[in-house]
Structure 1
Amino acid sequence: PIDLVDKRCSICSNEPEVRETEHFYYVFSEFQNLLETYLNDAEETVRWRKNAINLTKRYLREGLPDRAVTRDLPNGIPVPIDGFRDKKIYVWFEAVAGYYTASVDWAQKLQNNITDFWNNRTKSYYVHGKDNIPFHTIIWPAILSGLEIEPLPEYIISSEYLTLENKKISTSNNWAIWLNDIIKKYDADSIRYFLTINAPEMKDANFSWREFIYSHNSELLGSYGNFINRTLKFIEKYFESEIPTKYLEGEILYNLKELYTTVGNLVESGHMKQALEEIFEYIRSANKFYDDMKPWALRESDIEKCKEVLATCVIIILNLGQMLNPFIPFSGKKIEDMFKTKLNTWNYISNLPNKLSDVSMLFDRIDLKKIDEEVLELQQTSSR
């Protein structure tokens, strides 16, 4: 402002003044070597996403300058040192510390020992957008290191951006989908599924109403829901809801057991999208198994084999319901109700229930006319 020709505030008309002030600095340069080692370890063990690796490398390559962490502002957290209490801690420095201070507050309220949760055995995950990467890979690790608090952030789950109908989301311009609106019109599991399977994990992604509705109808309803419905309706109609007791041991169930490990490892490493893709790839193979085995024909030619096929499909349904519970829990509750059981572990289910309760559809078809209606509503709302 000193270099302006007309140096006057547009609000109060006063000219700017140059004043000396004192500030506290955090010596980030002292942590340069430590953070380089920390980054190399994260890259070697593939604990961070590529965007976090690349951006952090750039910052470290340029060298970390020491930065002022206080401001002469009226609002904010005061510096807790006599003579400096009128100064405030700058928000980018104190915000990340909330991870620790909030957990300390929680532990004190419940009379827990905070070191039971923050120690070198703790596995930590930090989930955020790519614009927050340096706060979690440089600033927060440097603060923790200075305080000698473990662990440093272990898994950096840094997503790319999500657009809406190929345009940047803008809440101020109302180019957005509001949760209170979408949850009233569509199944919560449909929303959870699409946002996960379409997540911007490795590159920017787009939310389109066309893809959302087609995804629901083809994958949730057409693939997953259809496999469950036709299996259970068959048992309900031809076996009076009595579940056969003997199932087929073979490749389809072997792959199901292996799926727990595959999906579990992907979830543990923060790859939710890929985990869900693996499950739905298996669902497609389960539908193929049903079609190839033709239980409707076996009912006439080999009733015992028919029962074994249906029992195998029930085992698949129970395990899929359990495996999908972290992703789409409301449909999982419907499966629990139909079998009068609980699906709340990560262990392969091999025991068959005795009888089905009332069979109900997991999902309803969404009318394709909704695509144009939703796009039009979005355009009209954003133009107001």
Structure 2
Amino acid sequence: MENIFIGGAWPYANGSLHLGRLASLLPDKKIYVWIEAVSGYLSASKQWAAETGGSWEPFWLTDKDKTTAYYVHGKDNIPFHTVVWPALLLGAGNLHLPDRIISCEYMTLEGKKFSTSHNWAVWVPDILSRYQPDSIRYFLIANGPENRDTDFSWREFIHSHNGELLGAFGNFVNRTLSFIDKSFEGLVPEGNLSEEWKRTIEEWYLKTGALIEAGRLKEAIELIFAFVRGANKFFDEQKPWVQIKESKAACGYTLHTCVQIIANLSQLLNPFIPFSCEEIRKFLTIEQPEWKLIVVPANRKVHNLKILFERIDISRIEEETSLLEKQKQQR
């Protein structure tokens, strides 16, 4: 398995310049703390090695061809990670240069710049006390400033939860497994995953994995939720609530396919909404997340089924925006 180094403040324009060359090009510019700041990536690696008995060299020196270095930060930090840091690495002895520079744009809050000094912010402990961590993770990835400036609004956050997580993903999981619980004694029905579905799922692993490795998380989660919508379409077209009256075997075949889709969605979505995916793996007794097609055998018992996501009442939109204004006034 290759080494992965991740650095950044929250990444690679084009090329690198030695500091001397930079100084000649920009004689009126001065660079202060950022030389020491970015050097911390290397010094922290050496300190980690000294404290743990590990080796810093594979990440920076000896196994450079086996290491992928990711630098993740905001767009205001691009020059320091694409010019200053590569120059320092070259000057220090041709150390491993950045491979993936992932530069996010800016996110505002209800149309205004975040400001902790003015108490115009969403505090992590506070939001976690009222909402599921997966809801927050999903929104910040699906609506994050990956390629352009975006805005965090309570309206969009709540509609995102109700529409995508609950209405699309959670609904597909719940109606499939609840149907099995009610009509098949909680046992995964007999069936076979068609070759077409196998190819589709395997393709989703390849495409999603490539996007994640490239740091294009927004595209990756959009791709998976296109798959979720396709799965819901399959469920609706097969009409298992009608099939159960005409042919229990046909109904079972449909639900067997849906279970395989759910199991693989729990793997594909694990990097994004891990808590919900862990619940699904418990429902279906899936041991560990893997990045490959998995099959849940027929007659496996569905355990401790419960709803993954609860609907958030839209009245919370006004409540949250009012709280935000009051919070600002209390600074």
Fold similarity call, TM over 0.5: yes
Name the counterpart of 1:139: 84
Equivalent of 2:225 in 280, 302, 311: 280
| Paired residues of 1:338 and 1:357 also in contact (CA < 8 A) | yes
Which amino acid in structure 1 is aligned with residue 41 of structure 2?
Y
Equivalent of 2:213 in 231, 254, 268: 268
Find the aligned partners of 1:140 and 1:56 in 2 and give their Cα distance: 8
Q: Unpaired runs of 5+ in structure 2?
A: 1-10
Name the counterpart of 2:127: 182
Structure 1's consecutive aligned runs of 4 or more residues displaced over 3 angstroms after TM superposition are: 51-57, 64-69, 250-253
Find the aligned partners of 2:176 and 2:161 in 1 and give their Cα distance: 20
Query: What are the equivalent positions in structure 2 for 1:175-254 lying under 5 Å apart?
Result: 175-254=120-199
Q: What is the TM-score with the length of structure 1 in the denominator?
A: 0.77
Describe the superposition over 1:205-246 as per-residue Cα deviations: whole angstroms up to 9, x where unpaired: 000000000000010000000000000000000010111232
Name the counterpart of 1:357: 303
What secondary structure, in the 3-state scheme, does the structure 2 residue paired with 1:342 have?
coil
Deviation at 1:54?
8.1
| Paired residues of 1:229 and 1:361 also in contact (CA < 8 A) | yes
Find the aligned partners of 1:152 and 1:55 in 2 and give their Cα distance: 10
Describe the superposition over 1:174-221 as per-residue Cα deviations: whole angstroms up to 9, x where unpaired: 111000100000000000000000111111000000000000001000
Distance 1:343 1:217, change over 3 A: farther
Find the aligned partners of 2:302 and 2:175 in 1 and give their Cα distance: 14
Name the counterpart of 2:50: 108
Deviation at 1:56?
8.5
| Paired residues of 1:247 and 1:310 also in contact (CA < 8 A) | no
Find the aligned partners of 1:258 and 1:64 in 2 and give their Cα distance: 48
Equivalent of 1:63 in 25, 41, 44: 25
Find the aligned partners of 2:130 and 2:30 in 1 and give their Cα distance: 48
Instruction: Tell whether 2:234 aligns with 1:289.
Output: yes
Find the aligned partners of 1:265 and 1:242 in 2 and give their Cα distance: 35
| Paired residues of 1:158 and 1:201 also in contact (CA < 8 A) | yes
Q: Which has the higher contact order (CA 8 A, sep 6+)?
A: 2
| Paired residues of 1:293 and 1:309 also in contact (CA < 8 A) | yes
Query: What are the equivalent positions in structure 2 for 1:148-167 lying under 5 Å apart?
Result: 148-167=93-112
Describe the superposition over 1:138-164 as per-residue Cα deviations: whole angstroms up to 9, x where unpaired: 000000000014211111100000000
Equivalent of 1:381 in 318, 327, 330: 327
**Considering only aligned residues, what root-mean-square deviation do their CA atoms show, in Å?**
2.3
Name the counterpart of 1:53: 13
What secondary structure, in the 3-state scheme, does the structure 2 residue paired with 1:124 have?
strand
Which amino acid in structure 2 is aligned with residue 365 of structure 1?
R
Q: Larger Cα Rg: Structure 1 or Structure 2?
A: 1
Distance 1:294 1:266, change over 3 A: same
Find the aligned partners of 1:65 and 1:318 in 2 and give their Cα distance: 59
Distance 1:64 1:352, change over 3 A: farther
Distance 1:224 1:66, change over 3 A: same
| Paired residues of 1:55 and 1:134 also in contact (CA < 8 A) | no
Find the aligned partners of 2:158 and 2:100 in 1 and give their Cα distance: 33
Equivalent of 1:299 in 241, 244, 251: 244
Find the aligned partners of 1:188 and 1:240 in 2 and give their Cα distance: 32
Which amino acid in structure 1 is aligned with residue 44 of structure 2?
A
Describe the superposition over 1:341-369 as per-residue Cα deviations: whole angstroms up to 9, x where unpaired: 22421111124261111211111110100
Which amino acid in structure 2 is aligned with residue 310 of structure 1?
L
Deviation at 1:65?
4.6
Find the aligned partners of 1:157 and 1:212 in 2 and give their Cα distance: 24
Find the aligned partners of 1:205 and 1:52 in 2 and give their Cα distance: 21
Find the aligned partners of 2:28 and 2:46 in 1 and give their Cα distance: 28
Instruction: Tell whether 2:130 aligns with 1:170.
Output: no
Deviation at 1:52?
5.5
